Structure 1
């Protein structure tokens, strides 16, 4: 039974990572070899399959992922992120601080990967909490909700970017539909869920938290940071470029007008790789050169960004190798055969598989990639919108973060919570995002 072999492989992965404390990338490669052999794959095909999975996955996302990391780092190191947060807090006023933090975290979260955004924003949120005498957790839930939603639904984040490549979905469509889903989801998971959490664990909202482990943070005088407008524009530029190209493409399909050199140029600029490169070059100017920062310092920020994501790239590559083993080993076809003729939507199926794997594995990205290996063979049997399947997979991969996920422990320690309080806040928050995300994807599927 192929599924029994996959289940044993996932248990082995858990034992290697959690029991033996082995590096996630090494664990993924070991399990990929083991599952390939157990599935009866010819020996001369095993290494080729793993290499193809690793190379194919990284080949698609390394450019977007690398440039995205540099863009986020430049915005952070220049003080742009601090300017966005503090300006919004001032504009929204003391009574609406939670909404200000939500909006700021959402904008910053588009440009920064989850872990980077968390480490960058937590000191800012702690400072706001102290100054305005607001509960740190009430701000923290909105902040992490926004970072988690952008991480799960919006390119250039690794999950949606990688899965879009694996499914052959248009990354611009993923971004456009991702925004439509992300906005109501983040409102539910932020301010609305905070009220529920306050009733579930009221004591946790009185805790002070502790960010000593983050060490000394780079802080800026507000007058020394870039302007609010240019900071927001720099953070959103890749989104703007990709969205324009996608909207024009959708209009072209709907109205049926002919292509021309201008449309080709717009499509080229709106390609994820091109949009990220142009946005990074603009950030080098707006966050660096225009502010008289030496090019050496600007490039140092870019170098640091890549150093921080090196292992993450390898883990994503390892997930891609495991995914390819599942496809070439026939597991995907077996799942497709199992659900042949079923009324279950590929959107719902992708979410269920990703959710089960997320709970088992902890890593959202690895869960999403493994889901791709099981779902891809089924997509040929359906005319479902691929961008929506990507978003459903992203939603499923966020569910019920618990003790096997680094995010669980980061949230617990930074906000000074007990295990019970962390389950009632962080784990439940991630579940709200996952279920709400699925609901909005299914709603959107009625119209696109």
Structure 2
């Protein structure tokens, strides 16, 4: 019965979002309430269950998520992201332009959420494509692969950040392992897949696309942009701090090193929230004050970034409420009985559940959070690396982007593709990246 109720709840969620076009957050709250009643949760406890789910989810990631949005906006508004992209393209040269796009998109993607990075990089990609007389999709596939990988595997993006909190995984470890998994995945799903896609659907590479819907996008002259080195350092600083802290903790555990003041300070600076806070303060100087930008404009950039992610925070909170209802309804424990004496990998379980929910729901974030509600109770029975389960959930939640995913329509419209061409390029890319991610996670699991 718990599985039937869950299935009905998921179908109802799909209908409300896809058929009735109801807001995702409202849909999640309605379905969560209905599911709670169906599970037999006492009416007096339903509201507190929903609030607990929202609070526990947002309490862990709101600060990281908010500060991450501010950092990305500061770098973008100062021209730092444009400087990174154009400089790398000049360094790599025309013959290796795809690899330049991969690296630039990966760096920009770490600092910015998928949609923001896409909107920011598209004008640059289209401009370079015109100059080189190549199709925009020729550069677009490597760009999309990098942005999707950072969205899927690397904090401070919402998926890996939220799921790490739900599973109790160390965010620094998730970041290190995420980079190890993301790099080969991007190489295979980006430039190498591009060669296959050109043969698979050649008509897609004859379209010129249209980015007029983006409106007027600010373009910077070279003298208006910050330096290449400072732009990369500012964008990557949270990652650098978290990686340093993770390695310091690893060395401490391996050598039995005493907890010195220096080590405590390194670990303090590497805590995700503190790393983001330090990075924001430095970004205000490097991307703002140092370049003569007023405090009012700096704060304006920060405020606009928060306004842009307000609905996303509500959706994440709604996903947390649905997750909590699934846990309170005993669905996870019920699933756990199937795997109590099984050798089935929890990494594979997390990926499979997330993939099914992603295909059904469209939203990667909602799919990942719902997966947590089903998988968390099962994890206690296994000795498994929680960081790898986090990455597997993220990989599964990005599979097979199709008509119920906003990203699908963004790619279709911006690159001027037909539905068939979008399926053959973007949907295949997302699926390939998800499966390759799982493969590399399973390989990594043999060594850590």
Q: TM-score under structure 1 normalisation? A: 0.99
**Residue 151 (1) aligns with residue 166 (2):** no
Alpha-carbon offset, residue 202 of structure 1: 0.5
Alpha-carbon offset, residue 82 of structure 1: 0.5
In structure 1, what is the equivalent of residue 104 of structure 2? 104
1:354-369 matches, within 5 Å, as 354-369=354-369
In structure 2, what is the equivalent of residue 26 of structure 1? 26
Distance 1:183 1:413 in 2: 28
Distance 1:88 1:157 in 2: 23
Secondary structure of residue in 1 paired with 2:259 = coil
**Residue 283 (1) aligns with residue 298 (2):** no
Distance 1:130 1:270 in 2: 42
In structure 2, what is the equivalent of residue 259 of structure 1? 259
Cα deviation, 1:150-187, whole Å, max 9, x if unaligned, reads 00000000000000000000000000000000100110
Alpha-carbon offset, residue 266 of structure 1: 1.1
In structure 2, what is the equivalent of residue 177 of structure 1? 177
In structure 1, what is the equivalent of residue 61 of structure 2? 61
In structure 2, what is the equivalent of residue 77 of structure 1? 77
Distance 2:222 2:133 in 1: 20
In structure 2, what is the equivalent of residue 351 of structure 1? 351
In structure 1, what is the equivalent of residue 424 of structure 2? 424
Secondary structure of residue in 2 paired with 1:413 = helix
Distance 1:282 1:441 in 2: 34
Q: TM-score under structure 2 normalisation? A: 0.99
In structure 2, what is the equivalent of residue 385 of structure 1? 385
**Residue 300 (1) aligns with residue 292 (2):** no
**Residue 410 (1) aligns with residue 410 (2):** yes
Extract unaligned runs of 5+ from structure 2.
none
Distance 2:251 2:153 in 1: 23
In structure 2, what is the equivalent of residue 13 of structure 1? 13
In structure 1, what is the equivalent of residue 434 of structure 2? 434
Alpha-carbon offset, residue 9 of structure 1: 0.3
In structure 2, what is the equivalent of residue 395 of structure 1? 395
Distance 1:138 1:250 in 2: 41
CA-atom RMSD, angstroms?
A: 0.6
Cα deviation, 1:68-92, whole Å, max 9, x if unaligned, reads 0000000000000100011111111
Alpha-carbon offset, residue 224 of structure 1: 1.0
Alpha-carbon offset, residue 260 of structure 1: 2.3
Alpha-carbon offset, residue 269 of structure 1: 0.6
Distance 2:257 2:279 in 1: 29
**Residue 334 (1) aligns with residue 334 (2):** yes
Secondary structure of residue in 2 paired with 1:381 = coil
1:27-42 matches, within 5 Å, as 27-42=27-42
In structure 1, what is the equivalent of residue 43 of structure 2? 43
> Runs of 4+ in structure 1 displaced over 3 angstroms?
none
Distance 1:298 1:258 in 2: 41
In structure 1, what is the equivalent of residue 138 of structure 2? 138
In structure 2, what is the equivalent of residue 315 of structure 1? 315
Distance 1:322 1:81 in 2: 36
Distance 2:345 2:255 in 1: 29
Alpha-carbon offset, residue 258 of structure 1: 2.2
1:83-232 matches, within 5 Å, as 83-232=83-232
Cα deviation, 1:112-138, whole Å, max 9, x if unaligned, reads 000000011101100010111122101
Alpha-carbon offset, residue 250 of structure 1: 1.0
**Residue 2 (1) aligns with residue 6 (2):** no
Distance 2:304 2:130 in 1: 30
Distance 2:402 2:4 in 1: 24
Distance 1:138 1:128 in 2: 11
Distance 1:386 1:254 in 2: 19
